[in-house]
Chains A and B, each alone.
Chain A
Amino acid sequence: MSDASLSGATPAPKAKSSLLTQTALVRKRHRAGATLRWLGLAAISVVLFFLAVLLWSIVSRGVPALFQYQAQIELFYDPAILNPDGGDVDPAEIGGINLRTGFERGIFTNSLRQTLVEAGIDIEGTVERRWVAEAVAALDAAGLTGGGVVVEAAGAPADAARVFGQAGSALRAAATALSGDDADAALAARDAAAQALTDVGFDDAAATVAAIDAAGGADAVAALAATGYQQALLDAAGALRQPAQFDDAALSALIYATNRRDVRDRLVDNPDLVGTSETVGVPIDIAVTRYLSGELSGVGTAQLPPGFDIGQLSLVDAMVEADLVGNSFRWHFFTNPYSQSGEIAGIGPALMGSAYMMLVVLVFSLIFGVAASIYLEEFAPKNRFTDFIEINIANLAAVPSIVFGILGAAILFTLMDLGFGNSIRGTALLGGIVLSLMTLPTIVIATRASLKAVPPSIRDAALGVGASKVQMVFHHKLPLAAPGILTGTIIGIAQALGETAPLLLIGLSVSTGAALLSSPFSGGLLEQAQSMPTVVYLFAQNQDAPVREGLAQSAILVMLLLLFALNILAILLRRKFERRW
């Protein structure tokens, strides 16, 4: 290669390729290289996108679910409701079983009614207006204008319902007669229907019906049906009958009024409450919550919260307008036990149970893991027995967690058979032991790595000045390896924190953990416990969609935050204490 060939002054016929001009082949090769690079980048983008979607789906559902719509109610502990005999109730009687059955619902309903009235809400009126509006809208949609006037003239909505119902029936009779063979009857029925419409006040509609050819047979029936009058009238009548159906049960259904234990507990704790009132936040029914959050529009049957009608929703609207309903943070989510009812479900015992289990894992697997690693790394002779232990540890690290669950179940059955009885099922102690056995290999591997990282000079120096082997290990190597061991242990514990399957198999799937809550410190390790991953599983199995999709994500959010906190702790410890030799 000369300068000349590069400058191109003397074109060399053979020099098709150079550093500056690439041949087709080189370009192709480089293109292939770029493709591989782009593929790699695409793969990473796909994975990162998946991670983003995963985190977004948790945060976007979990954070709103941490807030709860609550009605501020002036709860009045009415003695008249508490006492089955109607007289005054003695505070000393509270806590006994002689309170009137269902008194909690009575207290809730009366208090709710009173609160609404005090806020200036006309309960029956609001419901009635909403249903009347519904009826008028149905009539208007079919071209039966002026329905509102009719309702007003009729007085009570039920009376208007009767009027519309009669007209509707007349139209139905006309439709039946028109499809029949008897021409005279058809004519009479058509005229009767038109007359009925006139009577109600729908003159235009009456004219339309009267114009239908009574001898038209099937065409006439179709023409009548096309007007939609009959359906609209019957719908309107149906809607107008609703206000009369509205009762205390329909009112109290709006709030989560079945939280009986709560009222009873309040009264038992403080019998002086009888006859007094206090303002409390009562959770709104979780189905109504979906309406309040805008998830369901409330228009059309499919958009109504299951089990509720528009009359009840109109009351909800009125309560929102009167500022009686607020969206507040669900503090009790962190203290309550799991419950089928999303309104009061929480993860309190799960947090505690997980903490207990982590404690067991920490003590058990740290002691045994570190001891096993020290033996294998420092004392064990190179023989078959040692090799066998090593193979076992390597395999245990890869055994599926469900198999550890089977082991846990077997331990459970054995212990139950050995006289521990049913009380051992689902305890934090048992869960902790099973998780420890799972975590042991992780900790052994981490500990051995950090023992290996301590330079041999430390060992030689200690042995050289006359330390025994045990002294060399415990006084010199172990303190130097401690940060690494600690980091490995925290990572192992973080793994154990998220394990679900083994815990399900030892009976945590059937416990709410409430027992743990009632005696948090006395018998924590030996109570029926709950744990974070299993409570997430329970939330995911709940029958209510808002619980499955909302609260489950909130619980996941809490669990992930704990995991991240543990991992960050591990990273910080590593940064602070890591020594390069």
Chain B
Amino acid sequence: MGAFLTFPVVLLVIFVLAVAGYLLGYRRARTLSEAAPRSMHSRPNQHGWHVVFATVAPAVLFIIVWVFSTGVVSNIYANAIIPDELQDVQVPLQQREGLTEREIEIREEVLRTQFVATVKGLAVAIDGYIANGNANEADIERWRADLAPLQDRLRADGQVVRSSVTQGMLTVAQDLRRFNARMATAGPLVALALTVFGFVLALRAISLDFRARTVVERWIVGFLIFASTMAILTTIAILSAITVPSITFFREYGFFNFLFGMAWAPAGDVAGIPEGRDGQYESVLGFLPLIWGTLYISLVALLVAVPLGLLAAVYLSEFASKWARAWVKPALEILAGVPTIVYGIFALITIGPFLQAVVGATVMPNTVSVMTAGVVMGMMLVPFVSSLSDDVINAVPQAMRDGSLGLGATQAETVTKVILPAALPGIVGAVVLAASRAIGETMIVVLAAGALSNVQGLEPNPFGAVVTVTTRIVAVLTGEGSGFDSIDVLAVFALAFTLFFITLGLNLLAQRMVAKYREQYD
């Protein structure tokens, strides 16, 4: 029975019951109201919808929760049933020499994690093997006596078996499989029961006095509230995704070692096990060279974007004819809508070689450099700065312009002496926002700033290649992800952590400045 009652089947049942429920509920309510005209509280379609919600909502909610919690529960179960004395999860005696208690503990922790992963893989492999019709449960138990054939059979069937299977592994895997099978049967059963229960209950509830509309509207508002908490959930998810590994990293490596380190040279250490001399990590993971590269490029970008964007905004809002505005603004919007990877490739194959030809190969050994990335990023930010400044400038009250012009100031004097000072807080806010964008920008720097994996110190040459925070994140996390067990990977989460808080700080600052400026004139 368990094999046929799966979630897709239940979802199909739910769908059929929902459609049937709407029609049945509608008909029933209709009959009732026809028998007693004008005395029914809710309209027939509202009764129909009530049945639909009662049938679908609890079951679907349950399925979502179940799907994610079974994984967690299964993990916990696997961890719990591993016997402590199992050889697979113990550091061999000859390797224990010269290790402290804590180091042994960490190593056993790593072994345990790996063992759980292997056992889960094995369980999946055996499930797949049986599902392909190659054997039944009894066969597996019979093959237990000699493990090599089992392993070879699994592999021959195309199943992935990573390490060689041991007795302990098979025992735990079989136990886990039985547990998973029970879970896989129980979940759909409960969901089905909830569906039928809701369906029947809702149909029986239909009466002249039943306030179906109120109940349905309560369901709807409930969903609206849930949807609006998505923003909070996303923020929480981001925070936990970057904070948990970061804290592990800071504890392992040392917060100040990270923050003030002058070199970035990952060496592949495993978290918790300093491999090098004196119990130190061989990886050197200092933040300064990376943030230096990021800030250097951002500075160049802002030096390009702020004057150009500001002048363009002033021109468009104060001097330009209607015609010019109608053509230039969409052009700027095109520039703003171009994906950043396009800018990155443009920097790489057009701007980089051009700059190299201009300044010479001695000053600029590679086509990737601070200037290559910075100039293009600046151009990307021009529409951003100009449209924000445009808004700010337009928000300056007309009375101030008229006053200034009425006193005899020229238009330019009005702009420089009245409008820009009045709009200054807003403009600074825009620049801060642009800086936050520049710091978080990824694809341009990944392609055009340089791709060294090891850096020492700070690169002073604006035509030299640098490494940035975002470049390192992409480089490490796009490789075949090794999970969280390496200190180098954890360090990347620490990079994301600092990046997140730097940009968050800048954004809050900018928002506050713009809000203050708005208050001044509203």
Contact = CB atoms under 8 A, between A and B. Distances in A.
Interface of A: 29-30, 32-37, 39-44, 46-48, 50-51, 53-54, 57-58, 367-369, 371-372, 374-376, 379-380, 388-389, 392-396, 398-407, 409-413, 415, 417-421, 437, 440-441, 444, 468-470, 494-495, 497-501, 504-505, 507, 509-510, 533, 536-537, 540, 548-549, 552-553, 556, 559-560, 563, 567
25 contacts: A32-B412, A37-B412, A43-B311, A44-B311, A46-B308, A48-B328, A53-B350, A371-B223, A389-B229, A395-B235, A395-B507, A396-B234, A403-B496, A406-B473, A407-B241, A411-B237, A417-B71, A440-B234, A468-B217, A501-B442, A505-B473, A536-B341, A540-B348, A552-B345, A560-B342
Contact of B339 (A44, A441, A500, A504): A500
Contact of A419 (B71, B314, B349, B474): B71
B481 A51 contact: no
Contact of A394 (B74, B229, B474, B511): B511
A406 B229 CA distance: 21
A406 B241 contact: yes
A419 B74 contact: yes
Contact of A500 (B334, B443, B507): B443
Contacts of B442: 400-402, 405, 500-501
A410 B473 contact: no
B379 interface: yes
Interface in B405-453: 410-413, 415-416, 433, 436-437, 439-443, 446-447
A407 B411 contact: no
A419 B179 CA distance: 14
B499 interface: yes
Nearest to B241: A410
A372 B232 contact: no
A402 B413 contact: no
Nearest to A566: B337
A498 B341 contact: yes
Nearest to A29: B410
Nearest to B223: A371
Contacts, number: 262
B342 A44 contact: no
A409 B492 CA distance: 12
Contact of B332 (A47, A441, A494): A47
Contact of A403 (B316, B344, B447, B499): B499
B507 A398 contact: yes
Given A41-B315, A406-B238, A499-B339, A505 B74 contact: no
B231 interface: yes
A222 to B, nearest CB: 34
- Contact residues of A: prevailing secondary structure: helix
A470 B217 contact: yes
Contacts of A560: 338, 342
B290 to A, nearest CB: 13
B227 interface: yes
Contact of A40 (B241, B311, B413, B474): B311
Nearest to A371: B227
Nearest to B224: A375
B337 A563 contact: yes
B331 interface: yes
B477 A407 contact: no
Contacts of A48: 328, 331
B346 A57 contact: yes
B50 interface: no
Nearest to A500: B341
A205 to B, nearest CB: 42
B361 interface: no
Nearest to A410: B241
A470 B120 CA distance: 48
Interface string B199-235: 0000000000000010001001101111111111011
A33 B412 contact: yes
Interface of B: 68, 70-72, 74-75, 120, 124, 213, 217, 220-221, 223-232, 234-235, 237-238, 240-242, 307-309, 311-312, 314-316, 319-320, 328, 331-332, 334-335, 337-346, 348-350, 379, 382-383, 410-413, 415-416, 433, 436-437, 439-443, 446-447, 470, 473-474, 477-478, 480-481, 483-484, 493, 496, 499-500, 503-504, 507-508, 511
Which residue, A40, A394, A495, A559, has most C-beta atoms of chain B within 10 A? A40
Contact of B477 (A46, A53, A405): A405
Nearest to A44: B312
Contacts of B229: 389
B328 A44 contact: yes
B4 to A, nearest CB: 21
B221 A375 contact: yes
B227 A559 contact: no
B339 A498 contact: yes
A83 to B, nearest CB: 29
A403 B500 contact: yes
A559 B339 contact: yes
A34 B344 CA distance: 36
A36 B412 contact: yes
A37 B481 CA distance: 54
Contact of A498 (B223, B340, B410, B433): B340
A548 B349 contact: yes
A153 to B, nearest CB: 50
Contacts of A369: 227
Given A548-B349, A552-B345, A54 B470 contact: no
A300 to B, nearest CB: 21
Given A48-B331, A398-B436, A37 B319 contact: yes
Nearest to B70: A419
A165 to B, nearest CB: 40
Given A50-B379, A399-B503, A501 B230 contact: no
Nearest to A502: B442
Given A395-B504, A409-B477, A567 B410 contact: no
Given A372-B230, A403-B238, A413 B503 contact: no
A396 B511 contact: no
Given A379-B221, A413-B484, A494 B338 contact: no
Contact of B416 (A36, A470, A563): A36
A570 to B, nearest CB: 11
B298 to A, nearest CB: 12
A440 B335 CA distance: 23
A495 B339 CA distance: 8
Contact of B440 (A47, A368, A401, A497): A401
A400 B499 contact: yes
Contact of B120 (A42, A419, A495, A504): A419
Which residue, B228, B328, B496, has most C-beta atoms of chain A within 10 A? B228
Given A389-B231, A407-B241, A418-B75, A400 B224 contact: no
B496 A40 contact: no
Given A375-B221, A410-B241, A417 B337 contact: no
Nearest to A470: B217
Contacts of A468: 213, 217
A497 B234 CA distance: 20
Given A33-B410, A388-B232, 14 more contacts: A36-B416, A39-B315, A43-B311, A44-B311, A44-B315, A51-B331, A375-B224, A389-B229, A398-B436, A400-B470, A403-B503, A407-B241, A410-B240, A500-B340
Given A47-B335, A413-B483, A500-B341, A399 B241 contact: no
A395 B412 CA distance: 36
Closest CB pairs A-B (n = 10): A400-B440, A418-B71, A40-B315, A498-B339, A33-B412, A371-B227, A410-B241, A43-B311, A375-B224, A372-B228
A406 B339 contact: no
A415 B328 CA distance: 47
B314 to A, nearest CB: 6
Contacts of B237: 407, 410-411
Contacts of B478: 504-505, 507, 509-510
A398 B433 contact: yes
Contacts of A400: 436-437, 439-442, 470, 499-500, 503
